[in-house]
Chain A
Amino acid sequence: MHPAPSVIFFSVLSGAGFGLLTLLGFGARATSQGWPAFVFFAVGFVLAVGGLLSATLHLANPKNAIYSFSQWRTSWLSREGISAVAALSLMGLYAALIIFFDIRVAPLGYVAGALCLFTVFTTAMIYTQIKAVPRWHQPLATPALFLSYALTGGALLAGAVAHAGFLFLLTALIQLWHWNGGDKAFRNAGTNMNTATGLKGAVRQFESPHTGDNYLLKEMVYVVGRKHAFKLRIIALLFAALIPSFMMLGEVKHLGALIAVALYFTGTFASRWLFFAEAEHVVGLYYGKR
């Protein structure tokens, strides 16, 4: 699948933002109020909202985006939109009460936090539901992957060092689990040239249906760049998980925290890029590619 920068930015940034807001909602930094509290909430909101805005860049016809709140009964993308708006509104209220009035309404925080986490889950489900991309269609591993990256980023940004160290290791394990399942997924899905064409025997493309490029090939049959996949996997694993988790063992002060955050984002971008670039859509079979 084509790794569109807008979508990668969206899912990494908003993931970390919603992760941070989740933890704030559940009482991380509960002692902060006034300006310090403002800064934490602001970071969460900027990341979450910035990510959402970046996702709208991916739309070819954004003027109809308003209709996307209508199909929550069947569509995970619609659910994501609704959940994001609800989560941000409630969290905004919770934050405003803390920052300006020094009132902490814990139940409101829990509800808003849960909605933030649910928003990350809906993002993951947009990909998980796509059966035509077997690597994404891992009902447990894909949501776990998105949630763990989001919560780890959140814990790191909230400065919840003790939790972060543990979450980093968990992320590493879930990432390995997702890669492992993903590498076998296409074969296990049972879709191949024979089921695609219904023809028996060895089937190979003789002629492409068109001489030029097209939307399908650009969007769904993205094959370039997979050759660096292994190196990028190592980078993702080291930067987004293992190195920061070791850093969390020691006393992490400002500069250290900044480095950990930078490492986390680098690694997470690498992982998310791979999530798209390595994902093979079954339509590629019709072009004799994967």
Chain B
Amino acid sequence: MTALPETTQTKLGLVIDLDTCVGCHACVVSCKGWNTENYGAPLSDMDPYGQAEGTFLNRVHSYEVVPDLGTAQTVHFPKSCLHCEDAPCVTVCPTGASYKRTEDGIVLVNEDACMGCGLCAWACPYGARELDQAAGVMKKCTLCVDRIYNENLPEEDREPACVRTCPAGARHFGDLGDPDSDVSQLVAERGGIDLMPEQGTKPTNKYLPPRPKDTLDTDIDVLGPLLAPVAEQPKGFLGWLDRALEKL
């Protein structure tokens, strides 16, 4: 049913640390790996040996940021479905294929009902939905719903593939509806933000902005004194050679 739940107690989502992400795209690859062989239709590649065009549920953008003061900075920016509370993608869906789960707030697509109209992808301001060109159904991040509750997996693997993979620890998974959860604490501590708040989607996923650059008030050139030339004038054989050559 494409009516949104009034509220959901549990709000599962991701917290992404823009300070720590190194832009390695490992989360993109592990996401595609897991999701192409599990929930729903595989994520097709249209031209795998050419332009490498295909469906991905997670993509990493990179930006150059020039602050008002100071030097430019590169920020890597992973983006996937934010599992919005007021998800416009759900309410526009004519078939009932798109829905938001009451129990944990995850937004999913039931591919057996999707007619591939693409309207939900238009409605999402974040570009989190891609219509698979081979299967003709809408694909989006499932928050690895088939991992996080999967009793067949060892406990440490019961989190989204991207979180499990991230080598930098830039991705965190948890319940953002519980103010005491680790992720909520992290968001509070680091001033986590919503993307495009003016679109009114109330995203569950939060982004931690890059930490402000610190400044050093001491001399950072600690090795400098040690690198000063030790002998101004060559001595011994080299000194003799130097003086002999000088005279020529």
Chain B positions 3-46 with a Cβ under 8 Å from a chain A Cβ: 3, 18, 28
A258 in the interface, Cβ–Cβ < 8 Å? no
With a cutoff of 8 Å between Cβ atoms, the chain B residues found around residue A71 in the complex are 1-2, 93-96
What 0/1 readout, one digit per residue, does chain B (197-208) give for beta carbons within 8 Å of chain A? 111100000010
What 0/1 readout, one digit per residue, does chain B (122-134) give for beta carbons within 8 Å of chain A? 1111110011010
With a cutoff of 8 Å between Cβ atoms, the chain A residues found around residue B228 in the complex are none
Shortest Cβ gap from B117 to chain A (Å): 6
B143 in the interface, Cβ–Cβ < 8 Å? no
Whole-angstrom CA separation of A73 from B1 in the bound complex: 9
- Which one, B54-62, B145-153, B170-178, B239-247, is touching chain A? B54-62
Whole-angstrom CA separation of A21 from B95 in the bound complex: 28
Question: Is A126 a contact partner of B119 (Cβ separation < 8 A)?
Answer: yes
What 0/1 readout, one digit per residue, does chain A (182-205) give for beta carbons within 8 Å of chain B? 000000011100011111111111
Chain B positions 83-117 with a Cβ under 8 Å from a chain A Cβ: 88, 90-97, 112-117
- Residue with the greatest number of chain B CB neighbours at <10 A, chosen from A75, A207, A213: A75
With a cutoff of 8 Å between Cβ atoms, the chain B residues found around residue A163 in the complex are none
Chain B positions 172-217 with a Cβ under 8 Å from a chain A Cβ: 193-200, 207, 209-210
With a cutoff of 8 Å between Cβ atoms, the chain B residues found around residue A210 in the complex are 52-53, 56, 59
Question: Is A211 a contact partner of B93 (Cβ separation < 8 A)?
Answer: no
Given the interface pairs A73-B3, A196-B195, A209-B60, the reply to whether A215 lies near B133 with Cβ below 8 Å is yes
How many B residues touch the partner, as a band? 35 or more
Question: Is B193 a contact partner of A67 (Cβ separation < 8 A)?
Answer: no
Whole-angstrom CA separation of A206 from B60 in the bound complex: 11
Chain A positions 263-290 with a Cβ under 8 Å from a chain B Cβ: 281-283, 286-287
With a cutoff of 8 Å between Cβ atoms, the chain A residues found around residue B67 in the complex are 200-201
A54 in the interface, Cβ–Cβ < 8 Å? no
- Residue with the greatest number of chain A CB neighbours at <10 A, chosen from B59, B79, B117, B200: B117
With a cutoff of 8 Å between Cβ atoms, the chain B residues found around residue A286 in the complex are 61, 79, 126-127
Question: Is A74 a contact partner of B91 (Cβ separation < 8 A)?
Answer: yes
Whole-angstrom CA separation of A190 from B130 in the bound complex: 25
With a cutoff of 8 Å between Cβ atoms, the chain B residues found around residue A61 in the complex are 114-116, 135-137
Shortest Cβ gap from A95 to chain B (Å): 28
Whole-angstrom CA separation of A141 from B196 in the bound complex: 25
A162 in the interface, Cβ–Cβ < 8 Å? no
Shortest Cβ gap from A157 to chain B (Å): 29
Given the interface pairs A77-B117, A211-B52, the reply to whether A282 lies near B196 with Cβ below 8 Å is yes
Shortest Cβ gap from A279 to chain B (Å): 10
Whole-angstrom CA separation of A198 from B65 in the bound complex: 11
Shortest Cβ gap from B190 to chain A (Å): 12
- Which one, A86-94, A109-117, A129-137, is touching chain B? A129-137
How many A residues touch the partner, as a band? 35 or more
Contact pick for B63, options A74, A133, A199, CB 8 Å = A199
Question: Is B198 a contact partner of A205 (Cβ separation < 8 A)?
Answer: no
Which residue of chain B is the closest to A283 with respect to CB atoms?
Answer: B127
Shortest Cβ gap from A194 to chain B (Å): 10
Which residue of chain A is the closest to B60 with respect to CB atoms?
Answer: A209
Shortest Cβ gap from A135 to chain B (Å): 13
- Residue with the greatest number of chain A CB neighbours at <10 A, chosen from B59, B60, B135: B59
Whole-angstrom CA separation of A204 from B193 in the bound complex: 19
With a cutoff of 8 Å between Cβ atoms, the chain A residues found around residue B66 in the complex are 201-202
Question: Is B65 a contact partner of A203 (Cβ separation < 8 A)?
Answer: yes
Given the interface pairs A60-B116, A61-B114, A67-B97, the reply to whether A216 lies near B68 with Cβ below 8 Å is no
Which residue of chain B is the closest to A200 with respect to CB atoms?
Answer: B67
Whole-angstrom CA separation of A58 from B119 in the bound complex: 11
Which residue of chain B is the closest to A215 with respect to CB atoms?
Answer: B130
Question: Is A60 a contact partner of B123 (Cβ separation < 8 A)?
Answer: no
Given the interface pairs A60-B131, A61-B136, A210-B59, the reply to whether A131 lies near B207 with Cβ below 8 Å is no
Shortest Cβ gap from A287 to chain B (Å): 8
Question: Is A67 a contact partner of B115 (Cβ separation < 8 A)?
Answer: yes
Given the interface pairs A196-B196, A209-B60, the reply to whether A64 lies near B122 with Cβ below 8 Å is no
Shortest Cβ gap from A50 to chain B (Å): 19
CB-based closest 8 A-B pairs: A60-B116, A60-B136, A61-B116, A212-B51, A283-B127, A67-B95, A78-B94, A209-B59
